[in-house]
């Protein structure tokens, strides 16, 4: 584990969603105030709005890629390509020992499972049945390696 993955896990266990936990764990690197990071990432939890699409932890790492190398001009094709390259590397590393980056697949849910906006209570049984803590930790470790390793700075 690292300082950032530890922080991501701590945030998740404090009740923040997967995306918020990964994205806000790197406020020291992005320069964003934590409150801003938490708000920006809030809608991406639970596989984007709890729709069980792309894993929120991967979304958090994707937003970090945008913060690190994202284009700030519409015609900056190099920055766009570099961002997409980093996002694809994050996704590929995440998939190395997991079957997917799709939330419902990671959770073993049916594609036809009902989608409800209400988050589950964070109880002991929640943490036992969900791999989310580990996914948050791994996404933060991957983001750190891909975006903040010494050769990237």
- pLDDT band of residue 112 (cuts 50, 70, 90) is confident
Buried-exposed string 127-146: b where 16+ CB fall within 10 A, e elsewhere: eeeeebbebbbbbbbbbbeb
CA distance 21 to 11: 5
Q: How confident is the model at residue 11 (pLDDT cuts 50, 70, 90)?
A: very high
What does the pLDDT read at residue 113? Answer: 85
List, for residues 53-110, the tens digit of each pLDDT value. 999 999 999 999 999 999 999 999 999 999 999 999 999 999 999 999 999 999 999 9
pLDDT on residue 109: 93
pLDDT confidence band for 25 (50 / 70 / 90): very high
Tell me what the mean pLDDT of segment 129-150 comes to: 95
Hey, what are 61's tokens? Answer: 């790492």
CA 137/CA 151 separation, integer angstroms: 22
18 within 8 A of 55, measured Cβ to Cβ? yes
* SS3 readout for 60-117: HHHHHHHHHHCCCCCCCHHHHHHHHHHHHHHHHHHHCCCCCCEHHHHHCCCCCCCCCC
Mean pLDDT of the chain: 95
Q: HSE, CB side, 13 Å, CA atoms: give it for residue 56.
A: 31
């Amino acid at each position: 584990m690292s300082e950032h993955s530890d922080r991501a896990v701590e945030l998740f266990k404090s009740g923040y969603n997967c995306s918020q936990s990964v994205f806000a764990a790197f406020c020291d690197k992005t320069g964003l105030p934590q409150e801003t990071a938490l708000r920006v990432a809030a809608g991406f939890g639970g596989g984007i709005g709890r729709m069980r699409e792309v894993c929120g932890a991967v979304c958090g790492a994707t937003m970090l890629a945008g913060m690190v190398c994202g284009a700030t001009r519409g015609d900056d094709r190099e920055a766009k390509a570099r961002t997409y390259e980093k996002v694809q590397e994050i996704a590929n590393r995440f998939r190395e020992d997991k079957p997917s980056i799709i939330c419902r697949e990671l959770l073993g849910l049916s594609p036809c499972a009902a989608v409800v906006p209400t988050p589950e209570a964070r109880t002991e049984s929640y943490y036992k049945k969900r791999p989310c803590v580990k996914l948050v930790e791994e996404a933060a470790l991957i983001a750190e390696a891909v975006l903040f390793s010494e050769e990237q700075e």
